[in-house]
Amino acid sequence: MAIQVRRAFKYRFYPTDAQAAELSRTFGCVRKVYNLALAARTEAWARQERVNYNQTSAMLTAWKKTEELAFLNDVSSVPLQQALRHLQTAFAGFFAKRAKYPRFKSRKKSRKSAEYTTSGFRFREGKLTLAKMAEPLDIVWSRPLPEGAKPSTVTVSQDAAGRWFVSLLCEDPSLKALPLVDSAIGIDVGLDHLLTLSTGEKIANPRHERRDRARLARAQRGLARKAKGDGANRAKARRKVARIYAAIADRRRDSLHKLTTRLVRENQTIVIEDLTVRNMVRNRALARAVSDAAWAEFRRMLEYKAAWCGREVIAVDRFFPSSRLCSHCGALRGRLPLHVRTWTCEGCGTTHDRDVNAAKNLLAAGLAVSVCGAGVRPQRRSPGGQPTSKQKALRREP
């Protein structure tokens, strides 16, 4: 069965000097319009008034007529209007209490991007031409677009390493739900091993950041020695650091894509733990390792790929004692420090690998939720006691 999904296909491109200058001007104007509209809405908010998208759009027309902001007429109006729509979306998230109050865009730190709708670009015969440009972009088509695809929006961006990217959003009719399979798996994430599966398989942690740590440190020391400001030497040193970070991120993303694709194809149900990575990185001793493992990105990829393929991802409550609960008899152990990797159950005498045991318990808890809607925090009992019916359900094999 085909699934109606809009996907973004991202490609690298190499602009001419004229195109790079035009896009750089567009990025600056997008940032300027966003900040002006945010300032206007903030002032109105202080007066207990609300300004919507239509009002900021009228403001943009007025700004273009002033001598001070006449340069806004030099770039396409489509990305400027899209910036106002993005601001409207940010305020909608704020009013719905899903996000914080929108912040102003910084010239040095904010992402450089511009979004074009169908009226701002032309896509014909595999060539993409943006508004205000005479020549099409020189895009490296690293993978084909879906047959007959018609992009609805095009987003052009430049990362900190100076690389240019274009992202085309279009429907992908080739996506179909995978055939049903009779397999389920529990996944415990970690640092010694990136993933431990309930089958007993352990997937090594690539530690992408550690591989380039020495090279990154040298580049950062070189940047620190450069005088602060907008000098060419400092910009060159900053790009050198950014290129190393980009290489690390690319390797990490590629590894996670391959791993999540494999898990989704092989399993109908995938059970993971609902971790709060934001809180875990506050631990200064583990922050670097946790960030390098990218557990949040792993979960994000797993969930959207499962939705595409008709699979199910279940997140078990973070307070579920998966490591301390015996997957054989259901006995709950007391304190279990992180350095203890194996332990023996006092109730049944089974020796557990900490991570494999946690993965098995996560799988059992996830299946209980999926089948009968049970909770994921079983009633606890002391070693040697009789298990409850709920604990029996949690220990059922798939």
Contact 169, 6 (CB under 8 A): yes
Write out the H or E segment, with its range, that includes residue 167.
strand 164-171
What pTM, to 2 d.p., does this model score? 0.84
The DSSP code for 228 is S
Token digits for 248? 């690390």
| Distance in angstroms (rounded) separating the CA atoms of residues 220 and 204 | 28
**Both tokens of residue 139?**
């895009």
Domain spans, the chain: 6-171, 184-315, 317-394
Cα angle at 241 between 18 and 204, to 5 degrees? Answer: 120
- For residue 375, the model assigns a pLDDT of 47
Report how far residue 197's alpha carbon sits from residue 329's, in angstroms, rounded to the nearest whole number: 20
- The predicted structure's pLDDT at residue 372: 60
* Active-site annotation, residues: 188, 273, 355
CA dihedral 60, 63, 64, 68 (to 10 degrees): -150
CA 172 to chain centre: 20
**CA gap 30, 72 in Å, rounded:** 9
Mean pLDDT in consecutive groups of 10 residues from the start of the chain, 398 residues: 79 96 97 97 92 95 95 96 97 94 93 95 93 95 89 96 96 86 92 92 93 95 91 93 96 96 94 89 90 94 92 90 86 84 85 90 86 48 41 39
What are 299's two structure tokens?
A: 């979960």
Q: Which of 338, 309, 310 is closest to 323 using CA atoms?
A: 338
Residue 228's Cα: distance from chain center in Å?
32
Half-sphere exposure of 274 (CA within 13 A, CB side): 11
Phi, psi values for residue 197, rounded to 5°: -95, 155
H or E element in which residue 95 lies: helix 77-95
Cross-sheet strand order for the sheet of 202-204: 202-204, 193-197, 184-189, 269-273, 312-316
Tokens of 15: 């602009």
For residue 243, what are the CA distances in angstroms to 212, 215, 240, 246, 319?
Answer: 11, 11, 5, 5, 39
pLDDT at site 246: 96
The 10 Å Cβ neighbour count of residue 254 is: 11
